Amino acid sequence: MSFTIAIDGPAAAGKGTISKAVAAHFGFAHLDTGLLYRAVGAKTLDGTDAIAAAQALVAEDLEADNLRSPEVAQAASRVAVIAEVRAALEDFQRAFARRAGGAVLDGRDIGTVICPNAEAKLFVTASAEVRAERRFKELVDKGLETRFETVLADVKERDARDRDRAEAPMVAAKDATVIDTSALSIDDAIAAAVSAIEAARG
């Protein structure tokens, strides 16, 4: 039996952490959909055609060691504008979502575009200031020099781009449970997500 959990939201709201915890709690498979474009981009760096790479993508490709590199990030942004790539990756996501045993997908448009019929939908958000502070601390912990104001501006710019784009804008699905993590601990946010999903499961 399949059961799909769609988790959307802006960067640094905590949706990735919540998604992994929810998947572990219910014993479901988890897909970070942002990795799909990185995996395709990585293959193009080896000379593979982007459309062919997207159409042949398998789950194991998402475990490559180099997916977080700057070169792959740039390649991902280049392939993301190719309509045939987006179509192929939508097919991949939908197939993953209906796999036996249940699936959790997190991204920007899962509950609205990829899986509008998902059995459970969450929209995980937080204020831009809180999300920027989280991202700022991450960068500092990695030894990278930056300013909070710069990170906050980046967060707001990305929010605007995701929210205002013509194709698949980032919005909460009408039937999604909104979880604002601004004042929640990770444990409390996960508990809220699990509670909402258990309610959806009946």
Binding residue ranges = 9-17
Annotated binding site for ATP: 9-17
Pairwise CA distance, residues 16 & 41, whole Å:
21
Any bridge partners for residue 121, and if so which? 6
Tokens for 12, please give them: 């640094």
How far are the Cα atoms of 93, 172, 182 from residue 129, in angstroms, in the given order?
Answer: 31, 20, 9
Any bridge partners for residue 6, and if so which? 105, 121
